[in-house]
Amino acid sequence: MSEQSGAQPVQYELALSAEEAGNGTRKILPRNGKRLEVNIPPGVITGSTVKLTNALQLTDGITGDILIRVRVKEEPASQETFASETTPAGVTEVTDNSFEAEVIKAAQPAVVDFWAPWCGPCKMMAPVMENLAEIYKGKVKFCKINVDENPLAARRFNAMSIPMLLFFQNGQAVDQSVGAIPQNQIQAKLDAWLGK
């Protein structure tokens, strides 16, 4: 190792189906606009760690490893799912490229969940967003954006702590909340916002 100490390892969690864990698989890890191929060996179990030695050099331009902790799911994993559950029903996944069209120019108010796959509290917000999308169907658009894959939006809206919900009306960010918050608090905010 060089005299310069590298960055702390970055950790991700990867959810695999039992079949993928048993047979091994290949996944793509998106980070900072780059895509790393991750080869998962056969026979991994929940809690196994796959180390990508010095992968931060490729994605962040700094010395450091990426550690991927495996979690074996009971339900089948979708082909493109990496380090997260699938996008909740009724919630639109947006990117740096689609943010303008999906959120800023949305015909109705929008709530955007800034999240990352490695963030535990972010995972707690997924079912909340799904429930709210059902309750406010046709009145409020619910979106989520992965801050690791979409650094421009994260910087633009100063998403330093996640999960962060940003509330948009007429293309403007009018309110925000940071951290995992209960559904009833978000509903109270939305009801006041919608004049219920």
Write down the catalytic residue from 10, 70, 91, 119: 119
Residues 108 and 178 in one domain: yes
| pLDDT value of position 60 | 87
Q: Which of 26, 41, 73 is the last residue of a domain?
A: 73
At 53, list the tokens. Answer: 């030695």
Residues 48 and 114 in one domain: no
Residues 124 and 58 in one domain: no
Residues 150 and 109 in one domain: yes
Instruction: Specify if 25 maps to a domain.
Output: yes
| pLDDT value of position 90 | 82
Residues 144 and 172 in one domain: yes
Instruction: Specify if 109 maps to a domain.
Output: yes
Instruction: Specify if 80 maps to a domain.
Output: no
As for how many domains the chain has, the answer is 2
| pLDDT value of position 167 | 92
| pLDDT value of position 5 | 52
Write down the catalytic residue from 83, 122, 133, 186: 122
Average pLDDT score over residue span 51-70: 87
Residues 66 and 96 in one domain: no
| pLDDT value of position 79 | 39
pLDDT digits (tens, 9 = 90+) for 78-129: 334 443 445 556 888 999 999 999 999 988 999 999 998 888 888 888 889 9
| pLDDT value of position 78 | 39
| pLDDT value of position 82 | 42
Instruction: Specify if 4 maps to a domain.
Output: no
Instruction: Specify if 167 maps to a domain.
Output: yes
Instruction: Specify if 1 maps to a domain.
Output: no
What's 118's domain CATH number?
3.40.30.10
Instruction: Specify if 3 maps to a domain.
Output: no
Residue 44 banded pLDDT, cuts 50, 70, 90: confident
Q: Identify which of 141, 186, 177 has the alpha carbon closest to the alpha carbon of residue 157.
A: 177
pLDDT digits (tens, 9 = 90+) for 123-151: 888 889 999 999 998 899 999 999 989 98
| pLDDT value of position 85 | 47
Domain hosting 67: range is 10-73
143 catalytic residue (yes or no): no
